[in-house]
Amino acid sequence: MCGFAGFLGGVAAHGQLGDEAVLRRMADAIEYRGPDDSGCWVDPAQRVGLGHRRLSIVDLSPAGHQPMGSLSGRYVIAFNGEIYNHLECRAALARAGRVTPWRGHSDTETLLASFEAWGIQGALERCVGMFAFAVWDRDARTLTLGRDRLGEKPLYYGWQGEGRDATFIFASELKALNPHPAFKPNIDRNAMCLLMRHNYIPAPYSIFKGISKLEPGCLLSVSLAHPEPTIRKYWDMVNAAQAGLLKPFSGTPEQAVDELELLAKRAVLQQMAADVPLGAFLSGGIDSSTVVALMQAQSSRPIRTFTIGFNEAGFDEAVHAKAVARHLGTEHSELYVTPSQAMQVIPRLPSLYCEPFADSSQIPTFLVSQLARQHVTVSLSGDAGDELFCGYNRYHMTDKLWRNLARIPLPLRALIAKGIITCSPSAWDRLAGLIPGAPRHSNVGHKLHKGAGVLTSTSVDDLYLGMVSHLRNPEEWVIDGKEPPSRLSGCRPNLEGLGAVERMMVLDAISYLPDDILVKLDRAGMAVSLESRVPFLDHRVVEFACTLPLTYKLREGQTKWPLRQVLNRYVPRQLIDRPKMGFGVPLDEWLRGALREWAEELLGEARLAREGFFHPAPIRKIWAEHLSGRRNWMAQLWNVLMFQAWLEAQTA
């Protein structure tokens, strides 16, 4: 795993030495992504430069040094990630008569040789991996940026400056853009609206004006002769889903389980290739347990596994992970984290994330990455099982809710919603407590108010947007902010033919998965120089999952049925069957307790007014309600707090 940065165009800093100094500062800003080696390459005549930081995983020798040139000298690349089937690509090159005197055994060298043989897109279509890269074509005088199919590795880009100073800059993280003299860190208030809705900023947007994220499965080409970037997709999740619909799996459910096991075992085995120590995250849930089981089944020695535990009820899965580890015979490490240890991570979050990011499970994800890095350099993860195999309860709950709501005329639903919110949440709580024999659920009023917000939905897609939104009207919070269209609203892809649940899964796979889950995993790991790999995102597994009918994924009352069946072949069902538990921390209680003073400082009315990004009134209102215990506004407050903490770090 690595990090890179670079530029195209602009005025020379002070000749080649000046450009190299700028590049080194850009790359060194993300040194933690690659602490083992660094390099830079500049062509002053073409005004292009690449800087690189290396975390050595495959081919630890100097033969893996980057930026790396192809054998003919046509291409120069800065690469971040892994090509898991690169040895297969080398064999294919040999069969095609492209005999190459290999300098080493790095996948970067294989990729360059593949570019020369098949072109950039043709090479990527043959590759299995996670990656982002920047490659300069000396013949065409064109820069190409690329990103893996599902978006495991990040890549930011954009033109900055004007006239002769206009420069196209790019990097693995935003903080690597700061040292370039053309970069202007102007905050995009429209992107802030997206953050307030989702707790992340979805691609192609970023927190800074003029800087975009390259979307998954895309290639971007730009040159000084043609400065308007051209973006084309070489793989698309939406197309994969629709292709699966047109040509569904025709075997029995049991045959589907057999095929999934074969594909997943192959993906896991390829991702176990490394020249450094390797392990896996293990929560004890279905997804991570399946990955670990397939790893251990193909290993001659115990796999290293890692779990974080919490003493707070409802947040601890460590005991389940330990039982799975004991059954599989892994070499297991666990760390029970105290609240004070977990909260010590919070001041570090603005430096871990190059733009505001507010998924609170970022805290335990960093802690388990930190634990793993004490023993290994690569760790496999079970992420993506939910998006591919219908694991989130919200999918079928939303579908069922819409079927019931659709029977009620919209004007009547609007009237009911108005009646619900007329009564305060605390009043609803008191009323619920008066009902004899009624179950004692907490926050009844809060849930009713949230439910009222979705009663006026006009479609199941609109309902789902409301279900996954922290705020339905974020423009009311952000001063001068106007929410731009995203994949969930305004520019939804064409999902014709897919059922409601399948549409939710695809939308999550193209937004929530790359822009939240994979961002969290990448930044948490890279902060401690740990490479994280996700076997379920092997595109062959993804494409197979797309062919499975929904009745195979949600079967016998069970979510993720095929994955469960695979796991049952390795782990007794009683070790796994239990209610799904999120990977989180009791943040709502911490905000009322140990974090109250910190939060109050960031949410102070005078401070909010002075900074001028948020309207203070609605934020102060929910802060007071949260402190009183009348409402749980943890998610909405955390969005604001993570922006405020990030903003403070920018000006420090």
Phi, psi at 499, each rounded to 5°:
-70, 175
pLDDT of residue 553: 97
Assign residue 452 a region (left: φ > 0; alpha: ψ between -120 and 50; beta: otherwise): alpha
Cα angle, residue 584 at apex, residues 578 and 587 outer, rounded to 5°: 135
Q: Which residues contact 265 (CB under 8 A, 6 or more apart)?
A: 294, 297, 298
Q: Is 204 exposed, middle or buried (0-12, 13-18, 19+ CB in 10 A)?
A: middle
Confidence of residue 557 (pLDDT cuts 50, 70, 90): confident
Strands in 304-310's sheet, in edge-to-edge order, are: 331-337, 304-310, 278-281, 378-380, 531-533
Asked whether the predicted pLDDT for residue 202 surpasses 60, the reply is yes
Q: Is 213 exposed, middle or buried (0-12, 13-18, 19+ CB in 10 A)?
A: buried
Confidence of residue 455 (pLDDT cuts 50, 70, 90): confident
Cα angle, residue 628 at apex, residues 624 and 630 outer, rounded to 5°: 100
More confident residue, 170 or 579: 170
Question: Stretch 268-282: mean pLDDT, rounded?
Answer: 96
- The whole-model pTM stands at 0.94
pLDDT of residue 363: 94
More confident residue, 456 or 39: 39
Assign residue 119 a region (left: φ > 0; alpha: ψ between -120 and 50; beta: otherwise): left
Active-site residues, by number, are 2
Distances (CA, A) of 451 to 313, 418, 432, 457, 463: 26, 11, 16, 11, 10
Domains of the chain by residue range = 2-235, 238-390+514-575, 393-502, 587-651
Q: For 416-447, what is each residue's pLDDT tens digit? A: 888 888 887 777 777 777 776 555 455 677 66
Question: Stretch 487-514: mean pLDDT, rounded?
Answer: 94
Cβ contact 420:449 at 8 Å? yes
Across 279-317, b (16+ Cβ under 10 Å) vs e yields bbbbbbbbbbbbbbbbbbeeeeeebbbbbbbbeeeebbb
Q: Which residues contact 53 (CB under 8 A, 6 or more apart)?
A: 2, 3, 4, 27, 28, 30, 31, 33, 34, 35, 37, 38
Percent of the chain past pLDDT 90, that is, above it, reads: 79
Pairing state between β 378-380 and 531-533: parallel
**Cis geometry, peptide bond prior to residue 204 (ω within 30 degrees of 0):** yes
Cβ-based neighbour number of residue 569 at 10 Å: 13
pLDDT of residue 539: 98
Spatial separation of the C-alpha atoms in residues 104 and 108, rounded to whole Å: 10
Question: Stretch 124-143: mean pLDDT, rounded?
Answer: 98
DSSP conformation letters of 202-220: -TT--SBTT-EEPPTTEEE
Give the SS3 label for residue 531: strand
Distances (CA, A) of 86 to 131, 183, 271, 381: 13, 36, 11, 21
Distances (CA, A) of 569 to 377, 383, 579: 29, 20, 20
HSE value, Cβ hemisphere, 13 Å, CA-based, for 241? 25
Give the distance, in angstroms, between the CA of residue 434 and the centroid of all CA atoms in the same chain: 44
Question: Stretch 341-347: mean pLDDT, rounded?
Answer: 90
Q: For 382-420, what is each residue's pLDDT tens digit? A: 999 999 999 999 999 899 989 999 999 998 988 988 888
pLDDT of residue 465: 93
pLDDT of residue 453: 77
pLDDT of residue 340: 87
Spatial separation of the C-alpha atoms in residues 516 and 601, rounded to whole Å: 27
Spatial separation of the C-alpha atoms in residues 244 and 262, rounded to whole Å: 19
Question: Stretch 631-645: mean pLDDT, rounded?
Answer: 96
Tracing tokens 């909405």 back to the chain, one arrives at: 636
Q: What dotted CATH number matches 2-235?
A: 3.60.20.10
Confidence of residue 495 (pLDDT cuts 50, 70, 90): very high
Q: Is the dihedral of CA 174, 381, 121, 20 positive or negative?
A: positive
Q: What dotted CATH number matches 238-390+514-575?
A: 3.40.50.620
Torsion of CA 240, 243, 247, 251, to 10 degrees: 10
Phi, psi at 385, each rounded to 5°:
-60, -35
Q: For 61-112, what is each residue's pLDDT tens digit? A: 888 999 999 999 999 999 999 999 999 999 999 999 987 789 999 999 999 9
- The candidate with the shortest Cα–Cα distance to 239, out of 251, 249, 247, is 247
Cβ contact 1:173 at 8 Å? no
- The candidate with the shortest Cα–Cα distance to 53, out of 67, 69, 70, is 67
Q: Which of 460-464, 577-581, 597-601, 639-643 has the lowest mean pLDDT?
A: 577-581
Spatial separation of the C-alpha atoms in residues 527 and 343, rounded to whole Å: 17
